Homo-oligomer: A and B are copies of this chain.
Amino acid sequence: MGKRVTIVEVARETGLDNSTVSLALRGDRRIAEQTRLRVADVARRMNYVPNQLASALSSGRSRVIGVMLPGMENQFFAPHLEEFQAAAEQSKNAIAIKFCDWDPQRELAGLLQFCENRVDGVIWCPAGGSNEQLKATVEKLHAARMPFVILGGPSKMGHLVGMSEFSALKLGADYLVGLGHRRIGIATATRVPGLRGELHRNRLQRLRDALLAVGARVDAADIFETGDNEYGGVEFAIPLRERPAAERPTAIYAADDMLARAVVMGLRVAEIGVPSGMSVLGFDDAPRDASGPVPITSVSLEARGNGRAAIALLLDVIAGKIPPSPFRTIRLSPKIVERASCTGIPK
């Protein structure tokens, strides 16, 4: 099995110097157009494949950006990923993805691997873990002089692209009240095992606070908590049907879009129309929620914008356009994505 062809072989074949070939292949305009074309041609004919490793070692830029995500079992990160990919591609960078499965241990290990791989920088969506663990990890990154941007984590530890959950929750509450709703129910998946449950348990209080803050009425009987990841909506739709319409909330604010779908489904089963009989507002706009029986109106945390902002920021850090400190913080505003599951209430 013959060896792979390198720049040296191409140089020999064309009768030029290594460096000329190197420059030519990268389209440096010091090299005459004619030469450039000839080199490109010979390289193609010889099946030359550039060795990124050598290039990276020599130039000190690997043109790879590491992305550390907690997991992929929910599609929350899908739009982020797509955006990373697109933004990186534009700047001729590649993306290397690692999942740590919500394990801070593996998260740290993965980030260190990124350092060893000499990626140019890292986008890091922290999996949680204790504050000390976070700090220790940040420390390691700094020690390795690895540029990084935290996406959606705590502030004060590095450059940050943040998503302020509370202001987003409040935006949704505002929206419902603005439509005329007063009595508003909350749907959460607090009893689901694992991370989603934990997230919802934390979110429930804030969701309630957000609603109260804008003057809505939230009865204890209108707070629903399910333990079923997929069909939880049915659990509370049935009892809801039993109540006379006057004793029901006029809108339900779901703690995430998956649940909003389940709620819509449950209401369909209970023969309560959406949005005619009940408005349903989602949270964390997942793009696919544009489809389905009733397209769901939702509060968007602006995943795509955040993804793009994170890459842009990171590239600036890598390029040295941004000093290591003070840390930059970027916060995009959440938005209401109006679809068909919410409607106004006559006064």
Of the stretches A16-24, A49-57, A243-251, A309-317, the one at the interface is: A49-57
Q: Could you say which residues of chain B place their CB within 8 Å of the CB of A50?
A: 116
Task: Decide if A234 touches B96 in the complex (CB within 8 Å).
Answer: no
Contacts of A4 in B (CB 8 A): 144-145
SS class, residues of chain A in contact with chain B: mixed
Q: Contact between A47 and B1 (Cβ–Cβ < 8 Å)?
A: no
B1 near A145 (CB under 8 angstroms)? Answer: yes
What is the interface size of chain A, counting residues whose CB is below 8 A from a CB of the partner?
49
Considering only residues 52-70 of chain A, those with a C-beta below 8 Å from chain B are 52-54, 56-57, 62, 64
User: Quick one: which of B53, B81, B112, B291 contacts A56, CB cutoff 8 A?
Assistant: B53
Q: Does A72 contact B (CB under 8 A)?
A: yes
**Residue A204 at the chain B interface, CB threshold 8 Å:** no
Please give the count of copies of this chain that the complex contains.
Answer: 2
Chain B positions within 8 Å of A78 at CB level: 72-73
A53 vs chain B, min Cβ distance (A): 5
The residues in A between 284 and 325 inclusive whose CB is less than 8 angstroms from any CB of B are 288, 291-293, 324
A185 CB to closest chain B CB (Å) equals 20
Give residues of chain A (88-137) contacting chain B, Cβ–Cβ below 8 Å: 94, 96-97, 99, 101, 112-113, 115-118
Contact A117/B52 with A97-B97, A145-B1, A269-B234 known, Cβ cut-off 8 Å: yes
Measured CA separation A73–B73 after assembly (Å): 10
- Which of A168-176, A224-232, A329-337 is the interface stretch? A224-232
Contact present for B228 and A293 (CB under 8 Å):
yes
Return 15 A-B CB contacts under 8 Å, by A number: A47-B143, A47-B144, A52-B117, A53-B53, A53-B62, A53-B118, A54-B57, A57-B57, A94-B117, A96-B96, A228-B293, A229-B288, A229-B291, A231-B261, A231-B268
| Pairs of residues from A and B, 6 with the lowest C-beta to C-beta distance, nearest first | A52-B116, A53-B57, A97-B97, A47-B143, A231-B265, A52-B117
